[in-house]
Amino acid sequence: MEELKQLEQVQNIIHSISIPNDSSNLFIANFIRFMMQPCDELDIKQKCKLISEHFPKISAAFHEEAPNQLHDKDNVAIEDPLSSHCDDDKSAGLVQTDCEVAMVTLDSMQRANSTIEDFCRSYFMFHEMDVNSTESIFKYLPLLCFVESYIYQLDTINENLLRSPLGGIPDFTFRPLALLLERHGLYTDRIRDELKCGVDYWALERKLCRALTNKQEIEVEEVMKAIHLKSFDYRVLNLLLYQLNGKEINETHMEFLSVSEFLVEVSDDLFDYEDDVLENSFNILRMFVRIYGVSAAPSLLAKSITEAEEKYNCLLRGLDHKLSVKYQKRCEEATIQGGKVSGPPLGTWSIPPIIEDEDLYRYEILNSRTPYN
């Protein structure tokens, strides 16, 4: 069963049910998602029958007693079964039904494909790996593709939630992936922190885009935090390569790539500006226009770019010369492949014409499209 696909389907189910408030929405969504989890041979009818038979036992007295049963004799809280490992012990009872399996769809793999290609071409060199070597590519490709595809699935759900009145992605959405990585000895504190950055980014994206739509105040600190968090998937993949190769993390490389990632994200936002306005997606230029106004936004964004490029060039000089030359060549190739007229730090930065009235822009674009016959 594909957990993430189901979560997306749950959103559609909830819209068809009349529920009084947001808390009820969340409870019903969590309950439906729980019911959709596999549990040995039990189908949905058997689950409903069991619940119907045992639900009368869940009284107020039961509610008061249950917390006491969830502590051991030394009054230490028992570990949350949702955060524990899945094993083959059938005696685990309900804990076994809470085991989540990390799965990906073909669609998410196809969407992640270009990112994986860019990652291999841009980051393998920092691990002394030859991107043109089939051995280097296929040795780690399955894991890298799986992780990036899983992230893309969550990103798709987040995009759907941007258009939904319901809340955000639950904090445990990365748990199946974390369990999988831990079983293979690859889950580190750094990777955990970067995955949390992903959850934080999606939460910020929803908050900022809804604030933009509702004409609410936006803080520039949150915008800059979001644009830096946005490349968390590249950092996860990079940290995985250190683990897979059994090498210590090179903090000099990580710092340099972090600045490069910021510039790439800004470049992408400028290139995708019109599309992001149309889809109400996070875009740094959109946010700057709301905060600083149409006239000041371009110059203030250019100032941020200039500051980042200065730091980039300083860190670039600290790299090994061969690596520096190789990475700059890769930047040139990526700019040409992307068909962009802007890019960090090679090429020319170009800020697109500002869309002052986004609502009017969406209306005109949507109404100018010829419907299919």
Residue 321, strand partner residues = none
Angle (deg, nearest 10), helices 189-213 and 134-161: 40
More confident of the two residues 303 and 71: 303
Question: How crowded is residue 363: how many other Cβ atoms within 10 Å of its Cβ?
Answer: 11
Tell me the pLDDT band of 216, cut-offs 50, 70 and 90.
very high
pLDDT at 226 over 80: yes
Lowest mean pLDDT among 37-41, 103-107, 109-113: 37-41
Q: What is the mean pLDDT of the chain?
A: 80
- Please tell me the predicted confidence (pLDDT) of residue 247: 96
Residue 77, strand partner residues = 71
- Please tell me the predicted confidence (pLDDT) of residue 82: 32
Tell me the pLDDT band of 12, cut-offs 50, 70 and 90.
low
CB 275 within 8 A of CB 258: no
Lowest mean pLDDT among 11-20, 150-159, 218-227: 11-20
The DSSP symbol for 162 reads T
- Please tell me the predicted confidence (pLDDT) of residue 359: 92
pLDDT at 280 over 60: yes
More confident of the two residues 292 and 3: 292
pTM: 0.71
Tell me the pLDDT band of 334, cut-offs 50, 70 and 90.
confident
pLDDT at 25 over 80: no
Which class for 367: exposed (0-12), middle (13-18), buried (19 or more C-beta within 10 A)? exposed
Distance in angstroms (rounded) separating the CA atoms of residues 303 and 301? 5
**Dihedral pair phi/psi, residue 232, rounded to 5°:** -60, -30
**Dihedral pair phi/psi, residue 19, rounded to 5°:** -125, 135
Nearest Cα to 177, choosing from 205, 158, 156, 149? Answer: 149
- Please tell me the predicted confidence (pLDDT) of residue 228: 97
